[in-house]
Structure 1
Amino acid sequence: MKRLVAPLALALAAAPLIIPASPAPAQQAQGGLAQVNAYIRGVTTMTADFVQTDRAGQTLSGKLTIRQPGKVRFQYQKGVPLLIVGDGKALTMIDYEVRQVQRWPIGSSPLGALLDPKKDLSRFGKLIQTGDPKVISVQARDPKRPEFGTITMIFQKDPAGPAGLQLYGWVALDSQNNRTTVRLSNQRYGVPVADSAFRWTDPRPKGRAAGG
């Protein structure tokens, strides 16, 4: 199997999304950021199918599971020996093919903007014009820690979703300019999610099963 790039867990990424680069007017931006904040705080659990494409064009699919605050699981398609799990504090990437485990604080990943309901996007995010009144795009970046990268989240207005929004996907860019994109489908909210969804089997020698 073709090896997967190590920055995957930091940059996390599907078919390209079009992200315009111009900021939105102040009044529009304030309302949009408030609505996205309300969405993030309104999500208790979420499951979705995802399609991910890395900068080399390699595409993978799988299932995304989120439970706030901070818990996430990227379960990849059958035959891909890779798992990414967030336990509320750290993101862990487990590569079962080479028996490697890598961990990053969730706050050090672009995904921190999506997985921390306590964060206020108005302090580190900006609304990006999309040209479509039904689409909201928010770019989040910590100006004091540029090494954490940037995430641009794409939402579609949907009365059935939390705060009237549906998370469509995101584009993440790490400090090495590794761009990855995720596109979501079949989103479901408020579904039961067990603690076991965020456990994993440690493939390293000596039975160091830190994740369960």
Structure 2
Amino acid sequence: MNPVTKTLRKPIVVAFAGAMALALPASLAVPLASASAQSNTSQLDRAVRALRAITTMKADFTQTDRSGNTVNGELTLKNPGKIRFEYGSGTNMLVVSNGDALTLVDYEVNQVERWPISNSPLGALLDPSRDMRRYGTVQRTANSDVISIEVADPNKPEYGTITLIFVENARAPGGLQLTNWVALDSQNQRTTVRLRNHRYGMAVADSTFRYRDPRRSSRRPG
């Protein structure tokens, strides 16, 4: 297996699970203890609303692992719950969600791995009653135009921690644009994903979130 592809497998899944877990409105039923807590909750709510305001989005991404290996590709998002990471040449891999399951397809070794969304933070997409404060906490930043949200499921440490960075942008849905995130898995492997060239509101067919199963195409005739 390409060593770069191998190092990308888990971090991109962790990063995606965390990012999409945030795409659910936070419950406002919990009383707030201080003005600081109110400010943090307001920022978390803004980030959640900004993600949910996206109907469709495309963006170019650059993904870098802890060793400095970098790959590029295009991300396509369609709410609710559909996303596709299309990697560029040299990385024969695909990560896609059809809204029900997250799938990693490795065409180099003809392998497919699937995770039910309900078994990950992605389950938040399917249960509107879940409180996003279980997953997201606001981190301090030096720039008032930047909101940093750390996402983790305390009951599933194997998913690691993801920090999502939003920047004020009046042209983005909800007035915030997701610019990058940093995923830290349970083995302290760090992966950074940076987005650029955001485009919103285009038509995206549901077929975009399907994939060719390499296990079928690689079978020999009986």
Tell me whether the two structures share a fold, i.e. TM-score over 0.5: yes
**Does residue 93 of structure 2 align to residue 85 of structure 1?**
no
Larger deviation, residues 44-53 vs 119-128: 119-128
Q: Contact between 2:153 and 2:159, CA under 8 Å: does it hold in 1?
A: yes
Is the 2:110–2:218 contact (alpha carbons within 8 Å) kept by the matching residues of 1?
no
Question: Where does 1:13-32 land on structure 2 (aligned, <5 Å)?
Answer: 25-32=36-43
Hey, what's the Cα distance between the residues in 2 that align with 1:161 and 1:130?
20
1:120 CA drift (Å):
4.2
Q: Which of 103, 109, 112 is the matching residue for 2:114?
A: 103
CA distance in 2, matches of 1:141, 1:123: 8
Hey, what does 2:70 align to over in structure 1?
59
TM-score (norm 1): 0.83
Q: Is 2:178 the partner of 1:184?
A: no
For 2:126 and 2:58, how far apart are their aligned partners in 1? Answer: 17
Q: Deviations over 1:108-128 (max 9, x none)?
A: 556x39967945433321110
CA distance in 2, matches of 1:198, 1:58: 26
For structure 1, list consecutive stretches of 5 or more residues without a partner in the other structure.
14-23
Q: CA deviation at 1:2?
A: 3.0
Alignment of 1:170 with 2:190, yes or no, is no
- SS of residue paired to 2:61: strand
Match of 1:7 in 2: 10
Does the CA-based 8 Å contact 1:43-1:162 persist in structure 2?
yes
One-letter amino acid matched to 2:212: T
Q: How does 1:193-208 map to 2 (within 5 A)?
A: 193-205=204-216
Query: What is aligned with 2:27?
Result: none
Taking structure 2 as the reference length, the TM-score comes to 0.79
CA distance in 1, matches of 2:125, 2:88: 23
Is the CA contact (8 Å cut-off) linking 2:11 and 2:184 kept in structure 1? no
Q: Cα distance, 1:205 vs. partner?
A: 4.2
Question: Over residues 55-85 of structure 1, what are the superposed CA-to-partner deviations in whole Å (9 max), with x where a residue is unaligned?
Answer: 2221000000011111110001123211111
SS in 1 for 2:155: coil
1:127–1:139 contact (8 Å) kept in structure 2: yes
- Whichever structure has more helix as a proportion of its residues is 2
Which deviates more from structure 2 when the two are superposed, residues 129-138 or residues 147-156? 147-156
Q: Aligned equivalents of 2:165 and 2:53: distance in 1?
A: 16
- The answer for the alignment partner of 2:85 in structure 1 is 74
Instruction: Classify 1:190/1:116 alpha carbon distance in 2 versus 1 (closer, same or farther; 3 Å).
Output: farther
Please, which runs of 5 or more residues in structure 2 have no aligned partner?
Answer: 17-34
Cα offset, 1:49, TM superposition: 0.3
> Per-residue CA shift, 1:96-142, capped at 9, x if unaligned?
111111112345556x3996794543332111011101100011111
Q: Distance in 1 between matches of 2:175 and 2:38?
A: 19
Match of 2:149 among 115, 118, 138: 138
RMSD: 2.6
Q: Any conservation in 1 of the 2:71–2:88 contact (CA below 8 Å)?
A: yes
Structure 2 counterpart SS, 1:102 = strand
